[in-house]
Amino acid sequence: MKAIQSLLLGFGLIAVLIGGNSATVAKIDDGFQLKQMMDNSSVLWYHIPAYELRTIETDGKVLTKPVIAHSGSMVEAGEPDLPSTSTFYAVEPGKTYSVQVNIIASEMVEDVDIPPLKTWDNKLEGIIPTSPVYDNTGVFPESIAAISETIVMRDLHLVRVTVTPFQYHPATNQLEVITEAEIELVETGTEDAAFIPARRSRAFEPLYQSLVVNYEALHRNMVDYQRPSILYVLPNNIGSLFGTIDVLMDWKRRAGYEVNYISSSNVVNNANNLKNYIEDAYETWDNPPVYVTIVADAEGSYDVPTWYESWSGYNGEGDHPYSTLAGNDLFPEVFIGRMSFDTQSHLQTIVSKTLNYESTPYMGENWFERACLVGDPSSSGISCIITKENIREMMELYGFEDIRTVYSSPFASQMQSNLSDGLAFFNYRGYWGVSGFSSSNLNGTTNGFMLPIATVITCGTGSFGNGEALAEAFIRAGTASNPKGAVAAIGTATLGTHTMFNNVVDMGFYYGALVEGISSAGGATMAGKLWLSKSYPTNPNNYVSIFSHWNSLMGDASLQMWTAYPEQLNVSHSYAITAGTNFIDVDIVNSGGNPVEDAWVTIYRDDDILESGYTSESGFVRIQVPSAEIGEVLVTVTKRNHYPYQSSLQIYDPGVSVNVYSDIILIDDDDSGASSGNGDGNINSGETIELSVALSNYGSVDAANIIASLLSSNNNVDIISTTLQYGNIGVNEIVSSSEPFVFSVMEGLEDGAGLGLSLFITDDQGYSATGQINLQVFGNRLFANSVDVVGSSQDVLTSGETSTVHIVLSNEGSTAATSITGSITSASSAIEITDNTGSWNVIPAGSSNSTSSTGDGFEITALEEVIPGAVAHLIVALTTEGGYSSVSIVPVQIGIPTVTDPVGPDSYGYYIYDSGDIEYLLAPNYNWIEIDGRYGGDGNYLNSLSDGGNNGDDVETIDLPFTFRFYGQSYDEISICSNGWIGLGETNMASFRNYPVPGAGGPSPMIAGFWDDLKLTNGGRVYTWYDNDNKQFIVQWSRVRTYQNNSTETFQIMLRDPDYYLTPTSDGEILIQYMDFNNTTNGSYSWNQIHGNYCTVGIEDHTMTIGLEYTFNNNYHDAAMELEDETAILITTRGSDIRLHGDLNMDNSLDIFDILILIDFILQEGQDINPFLADINSDGMVNILDMVGLVQIVMGYN
């Protein structure tokens, strides 16, 4: 019998967006995209992710198992083993929903025998009978989609939508593969809505962005977020030890957190009472706790009880129930952690570790980008190592320079040695006993304050309910002045853990910490648990519940993790202000002088946070100062992976100190006196406002003859009544003027627009001060979020036809938008807009509407010659009755490509033409140029590559004979890998495991000719040659072999000189030719697992977010023919949706300015131009004939 184990956690489908030195999450491809979001229903478009029909031989029978990376399953043990993928959709609280399916495209596979799903529990192997499904004449499953009951996750009400994109016909051994479908969520009724906080938590946002398919399209009516809030749960006998934890709480307040604690015995001594207390805080506090950290063991001298589950029979401990406060589900409302201590020394050590790690990290060496990954396969199998390799690739992607791997004995000594060197992360996967590693090894470490986050997710490491668990030992090790071990650790309770679920939590933690950008240890721990729910949506045998409960964080839930070497912040602000000054300005740049955006600035004094704020993209923030009390105020700036800035300023008494009294600011828009408006007490566009502002004397000397002038830095505000007399103001006296200031606001201002108001205050003795008045506009905020093409289920325009198009708008403002009209334009030459105006009915605040509600949509004609799959961008200009206007952009696709069309374009403009696209002039013809000297070629043998297989992967960087431009970047060298790819520029990566492009796992940028695990044995070599006659550089993989099946591959990647092969973007063209093409690497998933996924062919840019995939895992793009011997593909930006020939200044018009540019170029007096656009007669040269042709076009002679 041959057993097949499928590791569902690959890293290949992770896509990231990298900007500067940071990275933010895109999403794993689960197949779901938001198509339309309306008030009573919503539509998701589903496309099947990359899948494989894997052949399995068992008991002499050949079976076929469908496999999708990252998939879960909805089936029960014994039923046909079909994978499913899930997403989460945010719904309106108090509503229930059903799901309806419209299958758009599918294909039938004949003669397949699907094996049954085996039980999760090895003890029951062979007992679970085959399901009666196999005896039915119907189809399984009857419906491909399912929807869950409402799930509550702090700020959102969600439903899980799960699709099984396969339907099995057991009677006929047919498998229908659903490649595309529409999934409609339809409102069916009402239910009681669970409580959600009034303001969102930023800490939860990365989870929402990753999990929730419609999160970006949600109505964002809340202008601000809550202040981050921590609840510390202390043992009732904390007594004299309170001062130790209070030091940490004081740092957290200084860093901008609202901090509370509870130690009352009637609360903390009973698990139910404590959970009720946390629930009450969540529902009633102005800033509900985001983080809950228990500062106690679960037993011993200082204890706060934990919970014990009853699903497994192991009665495992865990604190997860403290985090689930709303809804009947496993999803969190808070992040939970436990700083477990039994002695005063333990507590002092844990606090010292946490405080120093966050506020003053050790900077003597770069331990921040160092990690140790340990996988012991001896008991739990090779998947432990595969999980480590996936995590390693994630870390490499996010800049980790020193990643140590330990996959063989002696394990304990290697782990101790690596910990002693100082790490950011320590990660172990293995089995009970941690391969001989124990607390004595921790006590032998010498890492000091170079403290990692430790993830030791295996049996018994989190059994903290009775005795000291290894996760507890990690955070207790050492002393306050000489720490050892880790600053936080995650362990798993009981001896009954399962490799499959442990791997999911392990991968999920690092995906959360690195890819999703979750900054806190508690948040990343919760991300690991949420991966369980996503991977196993049916919660089979309660395993999702069990492993969510068993995995616990030892450490502060709010701990801000380092994932890169800290950057320095250069902060500028006043170091002294007068009493009553109600703002300070802060400017922040990095060491390179560039503005730092989203730095969190807090002013704090005497256990009281005065105010906090985030810097803008210019690195500026104005912080309000609500207190006039003289004395020192602490200034703190924090930002992820930036060294905290800690300083102070003085508030002093200058004698007379008059300024704005912010508690008395009155707005009058009641349409009487000088005001005009709707009387709602808010400032709306077009209104004239009477504004009363009180002043107070915060100094120690009486003020005389005070005059105040109203100013505005906003040109849309007109000050009508400028200066008022306030007279004399005694010390601590509050005075209002007898008359109001008057100003008017221009029509059309967007919701939330600041008015830039301030008062300039003087007396007759030379005193002057400025006070801020923070008021904003209440109005509309409209944007276009989707396009509906009438008659097209996929909302795609048809080449050569005119279509009616409706556009859906959303109003994110605070007032209803009325009498909305709009016009559309496009810079695309692929479409003609024949009706460019439309209108919408009233859109209330927080709602959406389409032009279909009025029937007044738009008409667009897609030109006949457009390549199917091209995308045009519609520029939507909107105006409303109140004068509000906005412009937004929405894409619309033209045509659906077939196998006889080119692949693409990607968002940059690249296409891939293959030799089967015979209707296109750019379809390449196979024309092999042999450069292997053994077969008559003139190439150079690249003998520096010597990949013999079995981890012998090799890469070499060489110079190019010309500058090659790729995705707008210029390269003078390339890196050639034995595994069938080229990296532009220099890289040391030699990636043999192929993944989809664009995405992680290989170098960026990359050209994948035949990316697979290849070996240079049995005569396999790599050659290079510059073909001077044809101005192209050729790299040939000659007679190389695949590692798994020893299949022969011979192929060439040809880089064409952009100076001779002209394209609309000036990027170089790439021709790939295949003499021998054998795509055979299907993988092996027995004990010695071999990565499958066949080969990858395609390209990706330097950001890893843009690219074109021709094939991956033997799945081809809809427009890609299957490659075989003697075939070719051409990669180019030449397509049908291109810039106008002759538009040399690229302003989307042909005029006299383009003629002048061309004349200067021909006379060699002007700037460089794009030769493709200047070659009017397409003869490959730019000369006087092109100038004549351009003149004829501009003058209309043609």
Q: Judging by beta carbons within 10 Å of its beta carbon (0-12, 13-18, 19+), is residue 942 exposed, middle or buried? A: buried
Place of tokens 């299949």: 1047
293's tokens: 């950290």
Boundary (domain end) residue, out of 652, 668, 702: 652
Judge if 450 and 326 occupy the same domain: yes
SS3 250: helix
- Identify the CA nearest to 144 among candidates 65, 68, 84, 77: 84
pLDDT tier, 70 (very low <50, low <70, confident <90, very high otherwise): low
Q: Domain check: are 515 and 370 in the same one?
A: yes
Same domain, 738 and 806: no
CA distances from 214 to 33, 38, 158 (A): 8, 12, 10
284/431 same-domain check: yes
- At 1012-1067, the pLDDT tens digits run 989 999 899 999 999 999 999 999 999 999 988 899 999 999 999 999 998 989 99
What is the three-class DSSP state of 71? coil
Q: Scanning the structure block, which residue is given the tokens 């969600």?
A: 158
Q: Which residue has the higher pLDDT, 60 or 544?
A: 544
| Residue 134 scores a pLDDT above 70 | yes
Q: Are residues 761 and 810 in the same domain?
A: no
The total of structural domains in the chain comes to 7
**Per-residue pLDDT for 718 more than 90?**
yes
551, 336 in Cβ contact below 8 A?
A: no
- Positive or negative: CA dihedral 374, 378, 384, 385: positive
Which pLDDT tens digit goes with each residue over 899-957?
A: 999 998 888 889 999 999 988 889 999 999 999 999 999 999 999 888 877 656 788 99
Enumerate residues 6+ apart whose C-beta is below 8 A from 276: none
Identify the band that residue 539 occupies on the pLDDT scale cut at 50, 70 and 90: confident
What's at 365, amino acid-wise? E
Distance CA 1013, CA 1005 (A): 19
> Which 3 state secondary structure label does DSSP give 85?
strand
Label residue 21 by pLDDT band (50, 70, 90): very low
Q: Are 1170 and 1141 in contact (CB under 8 A)?
A: no
Does residue 678 belong to any structural domain of this protein?
yes
Residue 1141 counted as domain residue: no
Give CA–CA dist 1100/237, Å, rounded.
59
The range of the structural domain enclosing residue 1159 comes to 1152-1195
Residue 1103 domain flag: yes
Q: Please state, in angstroms and rounded to a whole number, the distance separating the CA atoms of residues 63 and 77.
A: 17
- Count Cβ atoms below 10 Å from residue 466 Cβ, excluding itself: 10
| Cβ(182)–Cβ(44) below 8 Å | yes
Residue 1119's closest CA among 967, 927, 861, 899?
Answer: 899
**Helix 543-550 vs helix 499-510: crossing angle, to nearest 10:** 60
One domain, residues 437 and 400: yes
Rounded Cα gap, residues 570 and 553, in angstroms: 34
Cα–Cα dist 471/599, whole Å: 32
CA atoms of 1001 and 390, how far apart (whole Å): 9
Q: Range with the lowest mean pLDDT among 54-63, 107-116, 801-810?
A: 54-63
Number of Cα atoms under 13 Å in the Cβ half of residue 1162: 18
Amino acid found at 1074: Y
CB 1057 within 8 A of CB 1068: yes
Q: What is the DSSP string of 944-993?
A: T----SSS---EEEEEEEEEEEETTEEEEEEEEETTSEEEES-------S
Q: What is the largest CA-CA distance in the chain?
A: 103
Based on the domain organization, do 548 and 648 belong to the same domain? no
Strand order in the sheet with 837-840: 796-797, 885-894, 870-879, 820-825, 837-840
Q: What is the dihedral of CA 1113, 1115, 1120, 1122, to 10 degrees?
A: 80
pTM reported for the whole predicted model: 0.75
Pick from 468-472, 551-555, 932-936, 1144-1148: least confident: 1144-1148
CB atoms within 10 A of CB 83: 22
CA 504 to CA 530: how far, in whole Å?
Answer: 9
Name the residue with tokens 């839930």: 557
**Bond from prior residue into 1171 cis (ω within 30 degrees of 0):** no
**pLDDT for the residue 1179:** 74
The reply to whether 207 falls in a domain is no
User: What pLDDT, in 10s, does the model give residues 317-342?
Assistant: 999 999 999 988 999 999 999 999 99
The mean pLDDT of 994-1007, rounded to a whole number, is 78
- The structure tokens listed for 623 are 């912080």
Average pLDDT, the chain: 89
Backbone phi, then psi, for 912, in 5-degree steps? -120, 115
Residues 762, 818, single domain; the answer is no
Tell me whether residue 214 is in a domain: no
The answer to whether residues 1128 and 895 touch, using CB atoms and an 8 Å cutoff, is no
pLDDT of 1140 above 60:
no
Name the pLDDT band for 1 (thresholds 50, 70, 90): very low
- Ranges 499-513, 570-584, 721-735: which has the least confidence: 499-513
Query: pLDDT value at position 287?
Result: 95
In a domain, 210, yes or no: no
Asked whether residue 999 is assigned to any structural domain, the reply reads: yes
How many Å separate Cα 318 from the centre of its chain?
29
CATH classification of the domain holding 871: 2.60.40.10
Per-residue tokens: 652: 């002093």
Q: Using only the alpha carbons of the chain, give its radius of gyration.
A: 33
How far apart, in whole angstroms, are the C-alpha atoms of residue 1122 and residue 1108? 16
- The half-sphere exposure of 1122 on its side-chain side, counting CA atoms within 13 A, is 7
pLDDT score recorded for residue 955: 87
Q: Which residues contact 546 (CB under 8 A, 6 or more apart)?
A: 309, 311, 312, 316, 501
Report yes or no on 4 lying in a domain.
no
Q: Which long-range contacts (CB under 8 A, 24 or more apart) does 280-286 make?
A: 281/231, 282/195, 282/197, 282/325, 282/326, 282/333, 282/334, 283/195, 283/325, 285/229, 285/260, 286/226
Residues 1061 and 980 reside in one and the same domain:
yes
Of the candidates 603, 567, 573, 602, the one whose C-alpha atom is nearest the C-alpha of residue 587 is: 573
Cβ-contact 468, 450 below 8 angstroms: no
In the listed set 844, 862, 892, which residue is the last one of a domain according to the structure?
A: 892
- At residue 587, the pLDDT reads 98
- 256 in the same domain as 185: no
> DSSP secondary-structure letter at 925?
P
% of the chain residues with pLDDT over 90:
64
Helix (H, G, I), strand (E, B) or coil at 367: helix
Q: Are 548 and 501 in contact (CB under 8 A)?
A: no
CA distances to 35, 41, 392, 532, 920 from 38, rounded to whole Å, are 10, 5, 42, 30, 41
**Residue 374 near residue 406 (C-beta atoms within 8 A):** yes
Backbone angles phi, psi at 103, to 5 degrees: -75, 120
pLDDT confidence tier of residue 314, bands split at 50, 70 and 90: very high
Q: Is the pLDDT of residue 620 over 70?
A: yes
Q: How far is 245 from 295, CA to CA, in rounded Å?
A: 8
- Which of 601, 635, 652 is the endpoint of a domain? 652
Please say whether the beta carbons of 332 and 321 come within 8 A. no
For residue 129, whether the previous peptide bond is cis, meaning omega lies within 30 degrees of 0, is no
CATH (domain of 326) = 3.40.50.1460
Nearest to 515 by CA among 879, 1146, 885, 23: 23
Residue identified by tokens 């077009």 is 686
> Do 609 and 735 sit in the same domain of this protein?
no
Whether residue 49 is found in the same domain as residue 185: yes
pLDDT tens-digit profile of 771-821? Answer: 999 999 999 999 898 899 999 888 899 989 999 999 999 998 999 999 999
The pLDDT of 444-453, averaged and rounded, is 98
Query: Which amino acid is it at 302?
Result: Y
Smallest CA-to-CA distance from 949 within 976, 981, 978, 987 is with: 978
Please check whether residue 709 is in contact with residue 723, taking contact to mean a CB–CB distance below 8 angstroms.
yes
CATH of the domain at 177: 2.60.40.3800
pLDDT at 1053: 98
Distance of CA 339 to the CA centre of its chain: 30
- Direct distance between the N- and C-terminal alpha carbons of the chain, in angstroms, rounded to an integer: 75
Share of the chain above pLDDT 70, in %: 92
Q: Which residues contact 132 (CB under 8 A, 6 or more apart)?
A: none
468 class by beta-carbon count within 10 Å (0-12 exposed, 13-18 middle, 19+ buried): middle
